[in-house]
Chain A
């Protein structure tokens, strides 16, 4: 998955961000969030971050807490092996992150919840809601404490937990949901439906092969230099209990690159 994200600091305590990840390959993917600040499915998401608490108790030290709120809309359908793609509703996302940053260490904790809306036009599809939490501890070893303008490098250990809910699909006899684009995908999905799904029926069915609970933990790295930031990490599964026949995830990896528009220096 590739996920561009643009962040704009409107005020020192208010920022707006736009993220629109998309899949470069098709297939089954986790339906929880990719990161706290980026959806896990192809969606265009706008978030506002309000830093409602901010204190600077000492040299190189900050305590702060930020509330995020935003909404997203689907940009790309996700294929499913057990049904046609879901008609995804717009979602809202709210999160709270708080932490302490110092020259030698960081500690951050956060919790977020993404909830998909309900269609009002007789479509009963519903994407999994997601509850996630994260704890990150950062450390800047003395030999990396070089000072500006040399590259600034710090190491993190991050643990995330997520609870992804069950998805819901509206069915008609034959397993085709009318009126919102499932028809084109149904020919592909039908062989799976005949083996996995009970005989076709009308109404709403819970997709047992959706959602689950997982905890991941692992190292990550953040390096800033001039207006650039590079970040990357790898998370290993400590606990993974996907619902139904979904494959387990063993490893998650992410790599990020950021450019900050701070103005030119003389």
Chain B
């Protein structure tokens, strides 16, 4: 009995350490981003191919008539909006407003923080008193 008990402690400690070291996942689920400057099929294809290479991106759809880039993300992704905007800029285009569906919680500054991404936004819904994770769809500039 004593032997079993003494072995369990280091195992539990090690497990806790590994969980803490693992990066937290961002929970962006869907993004509709307006992109300025997309005027041809080749532009659309270039942007789509670049965005598809980002971590967590499941599907990308580009509508060059409306300039809308629609991205669906896999659960548990490590996606960041800042990285997406950088890719758009590197392709020679300008990212504008976006409609985002994400899981997160309101932080101490009453901003909606997307889980694990470190990215927080002012959203109209207001802070949840319990600060429990919720799924929201909101617009960002």
Q: How far is the CB of A132 from chain B (nearest CB, A)?
A: 25
**Contacting A148 at CB < 8 Å: which of B44, B50, B53, B92?**
B44
**Chain A contacts for B92, CB-based, 8 A:** 12-13, 51, 54
B63 at the interface (CB under 8 A from A): yes
Q: Indicate which residue in B52, B59, B67, B91 contacts A60 across the interface (CB closer than 8 Å).
A: B67
Asked if A205 is at the interface (CB within 8 A of a chain B CB), the reply is no
Q: In whole angstroms, how far apart are the Cα atoms of A34 and B59 in the complex? A: 43
A147 touches B65 (CB 8 A): yes
Taking CB atoms, residues of chain B closer than 8 Å to A227 are 42, 45
Q: Is the CB of B50 within 8 A of A263?
A: yes
Chain A interface size, under 10 / 10 to 19 / 20 to 34 / 35 or more: 20 to 34
A265 lies within 8 A of B52 (CB): yes
A225-B67 in contact (CB<8A): no
Query: Taking the complex as formed, is B40 at the interface, i.e. its CB lies under 8 A from any CB of chain A?
Result: yes
Q: Which stretch from B19-27, B30-38, B110-118 is at the chain A interface?
A: B30-38
Tell me the residues in window 186-222 of chain A with beta carbons closer than 8 Å to chain B beta carbons. Answer: none
Q: Once bound together, how far apart are the Cα atoms of A12 and B43, in whole Å?
A: 12
Residues of chain B at the chain A interface (Cβ within 8 Å): 34, 36-42, 44-46, 48-50, 52-53, 59-60, 62-67, 89-94
Residues of A within 8 A of B (CB): 12-13, 51, 54, 56-62, 101-103, 145, 147-152, 224-227, 229, 260, 262-266
Given contacts A152-B41, A224-B41, A226-B41, 18 further A-B contacts (CB under 8 A): A12-B90, A51-B92, A54-B92, A56-B94, A60-B38, A60-B65, A60-B67, A148-B41, A148-B48, A148-B63, A224-B40, A227-B42, A227-B45, A260-B42, A260-B46, A263-B46, A266-B52, A266-B60
